[in-house]
Amino acid sequence: MALTGVLRPGFVQIRVLDMKEALTHYCDRLGLFEVSREKDGRVYLHAMDEFDRHSVILREADQPGMDRMGFKVRTEHDLDLFEKRLRDVGMEVEHVEAGEQPGVGRRISFVAPTGHRFDLYAEMEQSALPPMTHNPDVMQVDPKGMGVQRFDHCLLYGDDLDGTERVFVEALDFEVSETVTAPDGTRIASFLTCSNKAHDLAIVRHDEKGKFHHASFLLEDWSEVGRAADIITRYNISIDIGPTRHGITRGKTIYFFDPSGNRNEVFAGGYSYYPDNPRRNWDADEVGKAIFYYERVLNDRFMGVVT
């Protein structure tokens, strides 16, 4: 078994200004399913092709953004191992007890040098409505809205990009699949993977700590990206850009905002990554093509607007 240690992004907890509007957006438009509402007000959501209980947690607050992102690891033992390795690279590690999120086992948690909080956990209850496993049909229930299959990755903005990259590479065994580099050698963007995907986490250098650029959800193909665009216009959802394609990762994509201003992506495709692949790099003067392969120019909004 080749994929060990950190398996994948497992959840993201997003702050929203208005829960009712957020649920219409994430459930009726993206196609997530509500799993539970807890006493503290947090609402737990699940995508149709995920085995685990939940992947998106919404929390009502007076400012939008990301509270934390969680990665699932393969075994309980990995948590102890990663705790030690995180401490070895200078991270303070906190313990979050089992049940802090319903159905989730104990977590270890740290704040990366870019100011983002990340959790690792090994156990989450299975969804009550998981993908089928016995003579499995392609879906258990009919898709809603865009019909997103699963939560896929986040792109985060923060100051100490090199520091966060180092923690994920040295302590958590991520690989850097692709980068954008300024003429003086400064890393502007780093695409990190813990799997066979082109990226599981992306970081862009930015003045402020702890900023959230987007949470991304997987669609099956390019025609579903087009259908997502139809839904975005039909319901006057705030658009950022697309449908288009990325040079980086090669994903086919569309970007839009939730009703609180948090950016979402739905995408399909992208290359497969193997740890022996050489790193791909883009020069800063080709960043237009790197980010938006068809337009070949950046829009200021994509680079500058975060929550």
Partner 1 sequence: MSHRIRFEGLDEVFECRNNESVLVAMERLGLAVVPVGCRGGGCGVCKVRVLDGWYHTGKMSRAQVTEQEEREGYALACRLYPDGPLVLQAIGKLVRVT
**Which positions are catalytic?**
153, 199, 214, 246, 255, 265
CA–CA gap between residue 244 and residue 297 (Å, rounded): 12
Site string for partner 1, 118-157 (x = CB under 8 A): ---------------------------------------x
Check binding of 63 to partner 1 (CB under 8 A). Answer: yes
Q: Which is nearer to partner 1, 118 or 255 (CB)?
A: 255
Examine residue 131 and say whether the peptide bond preceding it is cis (omega within 30 degrees of 0). Answer: no
Does residue 64 interact with partner 1 by CB under 8 A?
yes
| The 117-121 sheet, strands edge to edge | 33-37, 43-46, 56-60, 6-16, 65-73, 117-121, 107-111, 94-96
For 16, phi then psi, to 5°, come to -130, 155
- Give Cβ neighbours of residue 180 (< 8 Å, ≥ 6 apart): 187, 188, 189, 248, 281, 282, 283, 284, 287, 290
Among 93, 169, 241, 298, binds partner 1 (CB under 8 A): 298
- Near partner 1 in 13-32, by CB under 8 A: 17-18
User: Which residue in this structure is represented by tokens 């085995």?
Assistant: 51
- Nearest residue (CB) to partner 1, 102 versus 261: 261
Question: Is residue 90 involved in binding partner 1 (CB under 8 A)?
Answer: no
Residue 257 found at the interface with partner 1 (CB under 8 A): yes
| Alpha carbon distance 226, 1 (integer Å) | 36
256, two tokens: 């839009």
Q: Smallest gap, in angstroms, from Cβ of residue 4 to partner 1?
A: 35
- Which residues in this chain contact partner 1 in the complex, by CB under 8 A? 17-18, 62-65, 157, 180, 182, 188, 204-207, 238, 257-263, 284, 287, 298, 300-301, 303-307
